[in-house]
Amino acid sequence: MNKKYLIGNAHIDPVWQWKYDEGLSLIKSTFLSAINRMEEFPSYVFTSACASYYEWIKESEPEMFETIKKLVKEGRWGLSGNMWVQPDCNIPTGESFCRHMLYSERFFLENFSFFPTSGYNVDSFGHNASLPQILRKSGMENYVYLRPSSETENLKMTKERLHIWEGNDGSKVLCSHIPDAYTGLVNIDRLKLIESDKYPGLFFYGVGNHGGGPTIAMLKEVERLRKENPGYYLYSTVDNYFSNARKETNLSSLDVQKGDLQHHASGCYSANSKIKALNAKAEKDIIQAEKMDVLSSILTGAKTHEKEIKEAWKSIMFNQFHDILAGCAIYPAYQDAYEGFGYSSHIASKITTFANEKISFAIDTSKYFSTGESEMKDRMWVKKGEGSPLVIFNPLSFPIKRLIKIDCTVLSKIIDEDGVNYPLQKTRADYTDGPFYNDYLFECEIPAYGYKTFFLFGEEESQIEEENEFGFGENWIENSKIKVVFSKEDGSISSLFDKKRRWNWLEMVSQKGY
């Protein structure tokens, strides 16, 4: 007869139908309740995930944190998850998932001398197929989840609670699919859900969402069941369950579930586009900032901003909590989340600006001009006719070819450090600042994790004449292939001339009766 492993836990949403300040107070009261229950029930084992909760207790209630450390060492308090919160598992980038595990595992190692081997996202709405690879590379072998339901939300999923999950790259983790809920009462109806399992069963109980954990009444019922069925109902942590399941099960006989595990509450993914956009921006900003920060350190010896980057990531990770990022929290909670992502982007902007300025200031730009008083004191030209430097950075891991816009009224020439001249296209600026109303476009390629220096010249007489494929007039515009003429009366196209074929497409259409 397969044993049943009982996971006494408190599912805590730090943000959902309440704001984060209330959520943080719930963590304190729930953890205190767990400690009190352990004094009353000496065999009871409690489990809680999310490294950010433990950091919060360490900072605000150090004595409670020391008690938790002692209980963890005794095996009575189970750590789980190795993520900062239980994030949405579809929207964040792969880098975000890596940071969840990096910072969480580092916190657990520094404070508990180990980190758990089981992923724990019991309330996330779906699970992307890259997670098994990230979990395995982060030192985790197991994963426990509730959503989606194999009975109503994904009928193609295996019905076996214990199974293998295989990701896109072939990485595999041992999974336990919770049958009904990550919290709940201890009663016959719920226990029946795991009685028929042919593999070791996992049973979650406790008061959750708003915190709380197992109550005295629940634990009394567990004690009664344990007394009536010695060795059958076992207090356990998630890691302990998977460790025993591996010993008691022929893993090669388990069903293999491949690809994404999707999904629950799909409507959330079309809700609150602002929070999703801010998350994507903050992720991009801080990843770029860290790359430039490292480049600045390598090239100039500048001190890196590791502490600031970590704080920015912690704010991003907290606001990737599934009820925030997916789009189902209350309106006031989103005001806090918007500020949190803005905080991270602001830190990233400061770090990127510092790094860019540090690198560009160290570049020798004396090849084409010398410093001196400019005749245009409020504009870019350092000395009349000699030019001004422009450094363009690429923080990506591959070279990029892009159109670059320069804001100035007179730009006659742009060359790179090798003297190569680049074609320019004059365009109308978005704004007018006195006589300055032009922009210029040029196309360039920047190496991966690198930069390129250009020199801009503003004297019209120094302009190098080159064939320009683009041109325009009062009512026409052209490139090397076509010329379009617009009617001065109503703005309609009066001619669409194909230069290669030497014919007007409008006349051809008219003649053929199209």
Do residues 342 and 135 make contact, with C-beta atoms less than 8 angstroms apart?
Answer: no
DSSP 181-228: -SSB---HHHHHHHHT-SS-EEEEEBB-BB--BS-HHHHHHHHHHHHH
388 contacts 433 by C-beta, under 8 angstroms: no
Query: What was the pLDDT predicted at 403?
Result: 95
Question: Binning pLDDT at 50, 70 and 90, where does residue 468 land?
Answer: low
Distance CA 139, CA 118 (A): 9
- In the chain, the percentage of residues whose pLDDT exceeds 90 is 80
Residue 197: the pLDDT is 84
- Contact of 397 with 448, CB cutoff 8 Å: yes
Supply the pLDDT for residue 429. 82
Binned at pLDDT 50, 70 and 90, residue 379 comes out as: very low
Q: What angle do CA 409, 412, 417 make, to 5 degrees?
A: 115
382, pLDDT greater than 50: no
- pTM for this one? 0.87
For residue 235, is pLDDT > 80?
Answer: yes
Q: 386 pLDDT exceeds 60?
A: no
Residues 307-324 have a mean pLDDT of: 98
Closest CA to 115 of 12, 29, 238: 238
**138 with 148: CB under 8 angstroms?**
no
Written as one string, the DSSP assignment of 434-478 is TTEEEEEEEEEEE-TTEEEEEEEE--GGGPPP---S-EE-SSEEE
Residue matched to tokens 């490292």: 294
Q: Between helices 273-300 and 331-362, what is the axis angle to 10°? A: 20
Can 269-362 and 388-462 be said to share one CATH topology? no
Cα dist from 249 to 134, 202, 239, 351, whole Å: 25, 14, 15, 51
Q: Is the pLDDT of residue 467 over 70?
A: no
What is the per-residue pLDDT for 275?
A: 98
- In 3D, which of 340, 318, 317, 321 has the Cα closest to residue 16? 321
- For residues 43-52, one letter each, b for 16 or more C-beta atoms within 10 angstroms of the residue's C-beta and e for the rest, the string is ebbbbbbbbb
pLDDT tens-digit series, residues 12-61: 999 999 999 999 999 999 999 999 999 999 999 999 999 999 999 999 99
Of 508 and 129, the structure prediction assigns the larger pLDDT to 129
For 114-127, the pLDDT digits (tens) are: 999 999 999 999 99
Tokens of 306: 């590791």
pLDDT bin (cut points 50, 70, 90) of residue 365 is confident
CB atoms within 10 A of CB 250: 7
* In the chain, domain spans: 4-264, 269-362, 388-462, 471-512
Helix (H), strand (E) at residue 503: strand 503-504
CATH architecture of 388-462: Sandwich (2.60)
The pLDDT of 89-108, averaged and rounded, is 98
State residue 342's pLDDT score.
98
Cβ atoms within 10 Å of 363's Cβ, excluding its own: 13
In angstroms, the Cα distances linking 119 to 89, 164, 254, 432 are: 12, 13, 19, 56
* Among 194-208, 362-376, 398-412, 486-500, the least confident range: 362-376
pLDDT digits (tens, 9 = 90+) for 410-436: 788 899 988 899 998 888 888 776 666
Cross-sheet strand order for the sheet of 503-504: 471-472, 476-478, 482-486, 493-498, 503-504
- pLDDT tens digits along 52-92: 999 999 999 999 999 999 999 999 999 999 999 999 999 99
pLDDT value at residue 464: 47
Between 249 and 467, name the one with better pLDDT: 249
Greatest alpha-carbon span in the chain? 99
Lowest mean pLDDT among 79-88, 322-331, 380-389, 448-457: 380-389
Least confident of 3-7, 204-208, 293-297, 416-420: 416-420
Residue 315: its H or E element: helix 306-318
DSSP 362-386: HS--TTT------SSTTSS-SSTTT
- pLDDT band for 512, please (50, 70, 90 cuts): low
The residue with tokens 């992720």 is: 283
Confidence of residue 439 (pLDDT cuts 50, 70, 90): confident
Average pLDDT over residues 215-231: 96
Strands 256-258 and 436-446: unpaired
pLDDT at res. 452: 95
pLDDT category at 247 given cuts 50, 70, 90 is very high
Parallel, antiparallel or unpaired: strands 142-145 and 493-498: unpaired
Per CATH, is 4-264 categorized as 3.20.110.10? yes
Count of residues for the chain? 514
CA 64 to chain centre: 32
For domain 269-362, give its CATH number from 3.10.520.10, 3.20.20.140, 1.20.1270.50, 1.20.1440.230: 1.20.1270.50
